[in-house]
Amino acid sequence: MFSRILNGLEEAIIALLLASMTLLVFVEVVMRFGFGEGVMWAQELTLHLSAWMVLFGVSYGIKVGAHIGVDAFVKIMPSGLRRVVSGAAVVACLVYCGLFIKGAWVYLSMMHMIGIEMEDLPIPKWIAHSILLIGMVMIAMRLLRLLWDIFTGKAEGFNMVDEAQESMHLAEETKAAGGEGGDSA
């Protein structure tokens, strides 16, 4: 139940970030090239919206298996060894997330203490940059879930996109589509 709510919220936030960023860039281009006037804060806001979208997207990508990886060596391993290697990789990712979370906490604490605002917007910088902490915590939660699934045998590793298999599938579809039309030259 909680997981479904979190997933829906995450998808809605990603969609909202993408839509607002697209709309903002569109309005800025129309204003700049159509009327010769720009919106001073648009570039800074677009940059921050894209950073938020990227970190939400990384977490979502782990969930849906949208990331690519070099796993040819891992795929030829027996199932048990594949799970061990994948578990070690997840632990390494969690260590990285932990270091990043600690660094983000220190950075955001300093920004909060100093009280710096963004250059063009009256928003405290620590709020705008809080995605560093939020995003890494979300990524760590996804990785912990993946580690649990590996430990319990529900997964053998990262659920990554297999580009080679997709390419072969596309080649077969293209070949089949070319053969259906016939060569009537």
The answer to whether 96 touches 140, Cβ cutoff 8 Å, is: no
- Write down the domain spans for the chain: 2-162
pLDDT (0 to 100) of residue 65: 75
What is residue 47's predicted lDDT score, i.e. its pLDDT?
Answer: 92
**Whether 58 contacts 52, CB under 8 Å:** no
Nearest residue to 145 via CA among 60, 63, 75, 54:
63
pLDDT at 103: 97
Beta bridge partners of residue 117, listed in sequence order: 124
- Please report the pLDDT score of residue 185 as a whole number: 47
What are the residue ranges in the chain where pLDDT is below 50? Answer: 182, 184-185
